[in-house]
Structure 1
Amino acid sequence: MEITDDKLLKIALITSLIGIIGLIAFTPTIEVKQVDIKDINRGMIDEEVRVDGVISDVAQSKSKTSYFLTINDGEAQIQLIIFESQVAEIQSRNMGIEDFRDHKVEVVGTVTQYNSEMELVLSNGDSLRMVN
């Protein structure tokens, strides 16, 4: 059996379609790992995680474009960084960053380290939600 360019193209197209269908089918089932704040460590840098806690402090950057929120889950706390683009997304939902103060939230963010402290960078504007 001789493999021609035409056969190779068909094989590549079929394989691509199977891969795309697989991605569409399995993407909704992929969940971000839920962790306790005390368990976040350097081995998790660049990993996306979900944490729950209460926003105990809200501070704005000197440039007034970013926010630093302190999330406390009762055992530990961590800084959440919200950049300008995420602030705009949150405000487009008719909410201000200050509205989250003293409320329980669910956050999805990427673990980073700054000045030897672990922090979370908000993934997108929809990744910060108030919970009851």
Structure 2
Amino acid sequence: MEITDDKLLKIALVTSLIGLIGLIAFTPTIEVKEVDIKDINRGMIDEEVSIKGVITDVAQSSSKTSYFLTVNDGEAQIQLIIFESQVAEIESKNLDIDSFKNHKVQVVGTVTQYNSEMELILSRGDSLRIVS
């Protein structure tokens, strides 16, 4: 059997379509791992995680475009960074970032490290929500 350019193109197209269908089928089932704040470590950098805790402090950046929230789960705390695009998304829902203070929240964010401290960067504007 001789492999021609035409046959190779057909094989590549079929393989690509199978891969795309697999991605579409399995993407909704991928869940973010829920962790305790104390368990977040350098091995999780660039990983998306979910945490629960109380917002104990809200600070705005000097440029007034970003926010720094301290999330405490009773055992540990971590800094949550909300950049300008997520701030706009949150405020478009008539929510004020300061209103999250002293409320228990669930956060989905990406683990990063800044000045040897672990931090979370908010994934999307709807990734910060108040829970009971």
Q: TM-score, normalised by structure 1?
A: 0.96
Deviation at 1:102, TM superposition (A): 1.1
Matched with 1:49 is: 49
Distance 1:103 1:24 in 2: 36
Distance 2:124 2:28 in 1: 17
Deviation at 1:124, TM superposition (A): 1.3
What does 1:76-95 correspond to in 2, within 5 Å?
Answer: 76-95=76-95
Matched with 1:5 is: 5
Deviation at 1:48, TM superposition (A): 1.2
Distance 1:41 1:8 in 2: 45
Deviation at 1:116, TM superposition (A): 1.5
Residues 75-98 of structure 1 show CA distances to partners (whole Å, capped at 9, x for unaligned) of 111110001111001111111101
Residue 98 of structure 2 aligns to a residue whose secondary structure is helix
Report the aligned-residue RMSD: 0.9
Deviation at 1:74, TM superposition (A): 0.9
Deviation at 1:115, TM superposition (A): 1.6
Residue 49 of structure 2 aligns to a residue whose secondary structure is strand
Aligned length in residues: 132
Distance 1:101 1:25 in 2: 38
Unaligned residue ranges in structure 1 (runs of 5+): none
Matched with 1:34 is: 34
Matched with 1:114 is: 114
Matched with 2:96 is: 96
Q: Calculate percent identity across the aligned residue pairs.
A: 83
Distance 1:6 1:58 in 2: 60
Q: TM-score, normalised by structure 2?
A: 0.96
Unaligned residue ranges in structure 2 (runs of 5+): none
**Which deviates more, 36-45 or 18-27?**
36-45
Runs of 4+ in 1 over 6 A off after TM superposition: none
